[in-house]
Amino acid sequence: MLKMPKILGCMMSGCAYNMEEKCHAMAITVGGGACPLCDTVMTASKKGGVAKAIGCVGACKVENCRFNKSLECGANSIHVKMHDDHTECSTFQSI
């Protein structure tokens, strides 16, 4: 059984779920396409998520990542960073 990988760090300081470079969304979705985007990132006037929780990866739509197991993330943990003008999973490894 896969465990939901923790998000050990997030560099998207403007995200509503980011507090002190930690993600506090219960679970994020990593999207498909050319980059492993964080589909959950959002800006808002107030902070969201659960302050005492560390976010996890709930789903991964990046089929060409070696950690993708049946559209779930099989990595032990991930990091989220800024890349150009978007936020992405920096743990991504192409098959």
What are the boundaries of each domain within the chain?
Answer: 6-89
Helix segments in the chain, DSSP class H: none
Residue 28: both structure tokens together: 């994020």
Q: How confident is the model at residue 67 (pLDDT cuts 50, 70, 90)?
A: very high
d(CA 25, CA 33): 22
> What is the three-class DSSP state of 87?
strand
d(CA 6, CA 75): 9
Q: Is pLDDT of 84 > 90?
A: no
Q: How confident is the model at residue 49 (pLDDT cuts 50, 70, 90)?
A: very high
Residues 50/34, Cβ–Cβ less than 8 Å: no
Average pLDDT taken over every residue of the chain: 91
**Average pLDDT score over residue span 33-42:** 87
Give the pLDDT score at 2: 66
**Average pLDDT score over residue span 4-18:** 94
**Average pLDDT score over residue span 3-8:** 93
CA dihedral for 85, 10, 59, 91, sign (positive or negative): positive
Give the pLDDT score at 72: 93
pTM of the model: 0.88
